Every structure is written in C-alpha cells, then in structure tokens.
C-alpha cells in the first residue's frame, strides 16, 4: 500500500512538471534561441562534457593498462584534453560532411526556384523549406542578415567564414557576380552544381583510399596498450618493471611519444591526399 501511494505521488509530480514546461513554451523564437548565439553556449557545454568524458575514459584506461594510481592520474589529466579535442574534431568533421552533402541540395533548390521565376531572395527563402539541419540553420542566418541590411553576397560570405562551410564561398561569388554584372544566376548555379557533384565523387574516392591508412593507424595505436594491459593481467611479475622502475617509465614515455609522432605523420599524409 505505501508503495502505491509513493508511485501515485511521483506520477503527480511528473505531470505537474510536464504541465509547467508545456505552458512555458512560446510560439515564437526567443533571442537566446537564435542561431548566432547558440554556438557559443553549445560549444562551452560541449567542451565541458567532452573534458569530463575524456577524463573518465583516460582514468579507466590508465588504470587498466598500468594499475598505478599516480600514473593513472597523470594519464587522466593529460588524456582528458586529448580525448576532448578528438571528440570535438570528430563532431565538427561530421558536421562538415553533412553540410557538404547538403550543398548539392541547396544548389538544386536555388536553380529550381530561379527557373520558376523567383528572385534571389525568394530562392533563398524557398531553399530553407526543404532543408534539414545543420544547413537549415545556416541559411536562416543568411536570410536574417539579408533582412537586416546586408546584401546576398555579404551575408553568405560572413556566415561561411563563421561556420567554416567553404562551399558557400562559391555561392557568394555567384551572387556577387549577379549583383555587379547581372550575370545569368541560373547558369552559374548549374555550373556550381556540376562541380559539386564532381567534388563529392572525388571526396568519396579519397575517403575510400585513405580508410585503410586510418584503420591501420588506429590498430597500431591501440595494440601496444592492449598488450601492456594483457601482460599486466596475465603475467603481472613480467610487466612490473615497466610501471614501477625508472627505466620502465622511460620506455613507456618513449612508446607514447613514438605513437603520438606516428599518428601525426599519418594524419599529415591523409591531409595532403585530401
């Protein structure tokens, strides 16, 4: 009987909280929800979360590999920044990949709108209706800046610089030519669309070519630490000098430095291919 009463009380509290949240929602878009402000708050909260995740992962892996509290703390402090940076870069790269895929959709929509008789502003507005995030938020910001006095090319340029979406610089040039010379915007966008398809095919080929390099690098990075952890568990007396003597710690530092250097070289090789 007491359990039923407690359960009913918790359900009542949950319904009250949900009711307050529902009634507090506004029909418009608040200033704090605008695209120009959300990246700042999101980046700070994401950075703190990634640092915490990196610290926990480093502590767990450090203790599994070494079993030494002091080394584990050092690894946790040093590894938290490394893992947080890796998680942030991974998210940013994924976001850029999505934007690159959506670029062809943007150009297709602009061309279709212009061919239907729309002016450039209407074409940009109609493009937003068929887009999903993150490209949708980017073009909402472009429209917002255009409404506040910036011309099309200037709004596209500033947003491209802030978001790192380099493909937008081509669209900026197309609108700049249209503003200054009255060029055929449909023909220019069609040319950009064909170039975008070609670049996307090239990127997929490069990604498939470099996938084996990155896989090999990842395996070679993980393998030494896996072997250390395996030795410490299976033959602790054999792995003892590696983590408890000065010479062993020096060897461990050399191994970490060589792995770090090898990853840097491999990433530069891949970056040069791209």
Q: What pLDDT tens digit does each residue of the chain (274 aa) get?
A: 544 454 444 444 544 444 544 444 443 333 334 444 444 345 566 777 888 888 888 888 888 888 888 888 888 888 888 888 888 888 888 888 888 888 888 899 888 888 888 888 888 888 888 888 888 888 888 888 888 877 888 888 888 888 888 888 888 888 888 888 877 888 888 898 888 888 888 888 877 777 777 888 888 888 888 888 888 888 888 888 888 888 888 988 898 889 888 888 888 877 766 5
Write down the pLDDT at residue 208: 79
Is residue 165 reached through a cis peptide bond, with omega within 30 degrees of 0 on the bond before it?
Answer: no
Q: Considering the entire predicted model, what is its pTM? A: 0.62
Write down the pLDDT at residue 32: 39
Q: What is the DSSP letter of 32?
A: G
Write down the pLDDT at residue 240: 85
For the record, the structure tokens of 232 come out as 């410490």
Write down the pLDDT at residue 274: 57
Task: Determine the distance from the C-alpha atom of residue 61 to the mean position of all C-alpha atoms in its chain, rounded to a whole number.
Answer: 24
CB under 8 Å, gap of 24 or more: what pairs does 227-231 form?
228/65, 228/66, 229/64, 229/65
Write down the pLDDT at residue 20: 46
Cα distances (angstroms) measured from residue 126 to each of 104, 121, 140, 244: 15, 9, 11, 66
Write down the pLDDT at residue 23: 47
Torsion of the alpha carbons at 159, 162, 164 and 166, rounded to the nearest 10: 40
Q: Which residues contact residue 151 at a Cβ distance below 8 angstroms, ignoring those fewer than 6 apart?
A: 175, 179
Dist CA 166 CA 272 (whole Å):
18
Q: Residue 15: exposed, middle, or buried by beta-carbon count in 10 A (0-12, 13-18, 19+)?
A: exposed
Write down the pLDDT at residue 5: 52
Q: Residue 123: exposed, middle, or buried by beta-carbon count in 10 A (0-12, 13-18, 19+)?
A: buried
């Amino acid at each position: 009987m007491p359990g039923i009463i407690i359960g009913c009380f918790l359900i009542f509290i949950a319904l009250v909280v949900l009711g307050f949240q529902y009634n507090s929602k506004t029909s418009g878009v608040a200033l704090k929800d605008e695209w120009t402000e959300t990246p700042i708050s999101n980046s700070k909260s994401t950075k703190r979360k990634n640092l915490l995740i990196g610290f926990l992962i480093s502590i767990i892996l450090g203790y599994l590999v070494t079993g030494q509290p002091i080394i584990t703390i050092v690894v946790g402090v040093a590894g938290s920044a490394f893992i947080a940076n890796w998680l942030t870069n991974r998210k940013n790269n994924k976001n850029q990949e999505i934007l690159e895929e959506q670029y062809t959709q943007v150009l297709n929509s602009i061309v279709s709108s212009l061919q239907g008789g729309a002016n450039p502003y209407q074409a940009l507005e109609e493009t937003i209706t068929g887009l999903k995030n993150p490209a949708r938020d980017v073009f909402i910001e472009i429209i917002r800046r255009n409404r506040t006095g910036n011309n099309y090319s200037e709004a596209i340029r500033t947003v491209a610089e802030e978001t790192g979406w380099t493909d937008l610089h081509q669209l900026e040039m197309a609108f700049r030519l249209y503003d200054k010379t009255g060029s055929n915007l449909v023909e220019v966008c069609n040319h950009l669309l064909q170039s975008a398809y070609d670049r996307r095919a090239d990127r997929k080929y490069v990604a498939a070519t470099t996938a084996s390099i990155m896989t090999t690098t990842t395996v070679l990075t993980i393998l030494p630490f896996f072997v250390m952890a395996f030795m410490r568990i299976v033959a602790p007396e054999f792995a003892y000098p590696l983590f408890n003597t000065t010479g062993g710690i020096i060897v461990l530092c050399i191994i970490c430095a060589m792995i770090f250097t090898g990853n840097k070289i491999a990433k530069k090789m891949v970056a040069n291919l791209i």
